[in-house]
């Protein structure tokens, strides 16, 4: 299932294998035409399975939240889905390169957690019976792959209509197939727009990504919270969505002038995390537990270290990003110390404790 099949220069996906059927193998070809075959027909028509992991030709992705152990013992966690070019492969090792950052990682082949995202396929050189223009869908796919491999993320900091047109011309020069100009323009527009949305989530602008939490101190010394809901790379501006429903578009300098701070989530352990603003005026800590019994047992020792805790919260039905995956959680309502350095020190102390066992 989901293997890539080829016959000459035609490619498709194996969508079904039903051993009880007379035609057990169904392939969805590149023109979206599914067809079922017998095993004899597969042999006679010379339909073969394409090797999945081809150096320099395969793009793989890591599922979000994947934590992997590298050969040197270092642990890497991929918070969001990322794409990698397969650089090299041996009988037991695999080397991949992050397309955005160009960083390389080596894994044991048998324990590689990535999944195939795309293949760069070079059809056999043949003389076609007819040379039809590529469809808009095919051109869009080609543009997506080209952008993944060729786009320099530094361009996001100074993107203009002129620089986009230069990119489009470079992609156009790489095409070796006939096309309809209208299909090409539409395909590029869709592919580039989707690519910018992906980069807004993964790379962002000036280090700020889609979903980044923000706050602003009000005149009564309270905090108004929101998040970045969109990024306009052409205008170098951010659309801010405040929790009260208000929306406003600001540049990075305007955000700094209005003392709008970024809120970062720092996870110290599986049980301890905190949110802190870039100006260090806001600090909110969370301590999670697997069971309610454990949480109650640790209440008194934790209060002695960190200060006043909130009521125990049942997080089983919540989807907050700071819930740590625990069922029960305290937040720190009032820290014991005034200096933020001492507060962070106390949180580090708690993170060293084994909160999976009674005190």
User: Residue 277 has what pLDDT?
Assistant: 92
**Pseudo-torsion of CA 98, 101, 107, 113, nearest 10°?**
-50
Is residue 140 packed enough to be buried (19+ CB in 10 Å), middle (13-18) or exposed (0-12)?
Answer: buried
Tokens found for residue 149: 């491999």
Tens-digit pLDDT string for the chain (359 aa): 567 778 777 777 788 888 778 788 888 876 566 778 888 878 877 888 777 777 888 888 877 777 776 666 677 777 667 788 888 888 888 888 888 778 888 877 777 777 777 777 665 555 454 466 778 888 888 899 899 888 888 888 889 999 999 999 999 888 877 788 888 899 999 999 999 999 999 889 988 999 999 999 888 888 999 999 999 999 999 999 999 999 999 999 999 999 999 999 999 998 999 999 998 989 999 999 999 999 999 999 999 999 999 999 888 766 554 557 778 999 999 999 999 999 999 999 999 999 999 98
Residue with tokens 């957690």: 113
Tell me how far apart the alpha carbons of residues 94 and 54 are, in angstroms, rounded to a whole number. Answer: 11
Closest CA to 188 of 132, 146, 235: 146
d(CA 139, CA 119): 15
Give the position of tokens 């043949």: 126
C-beta separation of 233 from 223 below 8 A: no
Predicted confidence at residue 130, as pLDDT, reads 47
Using DSSP, state whether 301 is helix, strand or coil.
Answer: helix
Q: What is the largest CA-CA distance in the chain?
A: 81
DSSP string, 16-56: EE-TTSSS-EEEEETTS-EEEE-HHHHHHTT-EEPPS--TT
Contact residues for 224 (Cβ-Cβ < 8 A; gap 6+): 215, 216, 217, 218, 242, 243, 244
Residue 235: closest CA among 154, 157, 167, 155: 157
Residue 169 per-residue DSSP state: H
The pTM (predicted TM-score) of the whole model is: 0.59
The pLDDT value given to residue 221: 80
The arrangement of secondary structure in 213-258, i.e. its CATH architecture, is: Roll (2.30)
CA distance 25 to 14: 7
Whole-number pLDDT of residue 129:
40
Q: CB of 94 within 8 A of CB of 56?
A: no
The pLDDT value given to residue 90: 84
Residue 95 has a pLDDT of 85
d(Cα 71, Cα 121) in Å, to the nearest integer?
30
**Cα–Cα distance, 61 to 67 (Å, whole number):** 13
Distance between CA atoms of residues 291 and 223, nearest Å: 32
* Strand (E) or helix (H) holding 329: strand 328-335
**Rounded to the nearest 10 degrees, how much is the dihedral formed by the CA atoms of 8, 13, 17, 21?**
-60
Report domain extents, the chain: 4-49, 58-119, 136-202, 213-258, 264-351
Q: What is residue 110's predicted lDDT score, i.e. its pLDDT? A: 77
Three-state DSSP state, 8: coil
Closest-CA residue to 84 (of 126, 123, 53, 47): 53
């Amino acid at each position: 299932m989901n293997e890539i099949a080829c016959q000459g220069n035609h490619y498709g996906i194996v969508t079904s294998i039903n051993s009880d059927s007379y035609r057990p193998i169904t392939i969805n070809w590149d023109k979206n035409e599914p067809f079922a075959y017998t095993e004899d027909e597969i042999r006679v028509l010379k339909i073969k399975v394409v090797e999945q992991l081809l150096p320099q030709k395969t793009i793989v992705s890591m599922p979000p939240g994947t934590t992997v152990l590298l050969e040197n013992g270092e642990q890497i966690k991929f918070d969001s889905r990322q794409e990698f070019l397969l650089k090299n492969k041996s009988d037991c090792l695999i080397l991949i390169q992050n397309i955005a950052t160009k960083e390389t990682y080596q894994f044991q082949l048998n324990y590689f957690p990535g999944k195939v995202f795309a293949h760069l396929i070079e059809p056999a050189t043949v003389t076609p019976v007819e040379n039809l223009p590529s469809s808009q869908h095919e051109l869009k796919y080609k543009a997506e792959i080209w952008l993944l491999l060729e786009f320099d993320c530094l361009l996001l900091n100074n993107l203009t209509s002129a620089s986009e047109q230069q990119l489009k011309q470079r992609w156009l020069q790489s095409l070796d197939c006939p096309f309809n100009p209208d299909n090409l323009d539409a395909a590029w527009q869709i592919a580039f727009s989707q690519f910018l949305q992906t980069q807004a989530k993964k790379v962002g602008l000036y280090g700020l990504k889609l979903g980044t939490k923000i706050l602003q101190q009000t005149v009564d010394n309270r905090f108004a919270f929101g998040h970045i809901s969109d990024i306009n790379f052409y205008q170098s501006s951010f659309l801010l969505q405040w929790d009260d429903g208000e929306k406003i578009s600001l540049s990075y300098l305007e955000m700094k002038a209005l003392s709008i701070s970024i809120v970062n989530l720092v996870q110290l352990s599986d049980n301890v995390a905190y949110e802190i603003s870039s100006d260090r005026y806001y600090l909110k800590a969370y301590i999670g537990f697997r069971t309610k019994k454990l949480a109650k047992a640790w209440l008194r020792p934790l209060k002695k270290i960190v200060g006043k805790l909130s009521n125990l919260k049942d997080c089983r039905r919540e989807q907050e990003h700071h819930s740590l995956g625990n069922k029960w959680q305290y937040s720190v309502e009032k820290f014991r110390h005034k200096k933020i350095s001492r507060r962070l020190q106390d949180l580090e102390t708690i993170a060293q404790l084994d909160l999976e066992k009674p005190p």
